[in-house]
Amino acid sequence: MAKNDNGGGFTVGFLTGGIIGVMIGILIAPKPGAQTRSELAEQSEAWRSRAEELAATVRDKSGPAIDNIRDRINPSVEGLLDRVGPAINNVRDRVSPLIEQSGKRTTETAVDQEENDHTESDESNTESKYSATT
């Protein structure tokens, strides 16, 4: 999610796309190169200034509304965190020892399994040698 663009990002992107479309249309039109470049320079400056004006207008109009919403929501979120925070800490305190204990068991199981694998491998090698000699 974009942070602090006050809703102007979409508008600027939309206008930029429009400007690029106009430029491509001008370039494709069958006119002499010098005339096309001249028109393109004039149009691009006009469109750029118009896009900046429109983006500023959108920012000015939407900014206070977004700030108002943010001011109304923040206390609710903070209150919720104040109420839920102790429960989260309680769960964390209860679960952490279980996770550590589970990790130790997993490590012990892996070590036991590795020892069993080595023992089985040694027995298998011994049986193979015995079979080969008889």
Q: Are the beta carbons of 84 and 41 closer than 8 angstroms?
A: no
Using alpha carbons, select from 13, 19, 11, 7 the residue that is nearest to residue 47: 19
Q: Phi and psi (nearest 5°) for 32?
A: -60, 150
Q: Helices 33-133 & 8-28, crossing angle to 10 degrees?
A: 110
Which pTM was predicted? 0.32
pLDDT (tens place) for every residue of the chain, 134 residues total? 445 556 667 888 888 888 888 878 777 777 777 777 787 788 888 888 888 898 888 888 888 888 888 888 888 888 888 888 888 888 888 888 888 887 777 776 766 677 776 666 555 555 555 555 55
Count Cβ atoms below 10 Å from residue 19 Cβ, excluding itself. Answer: 17
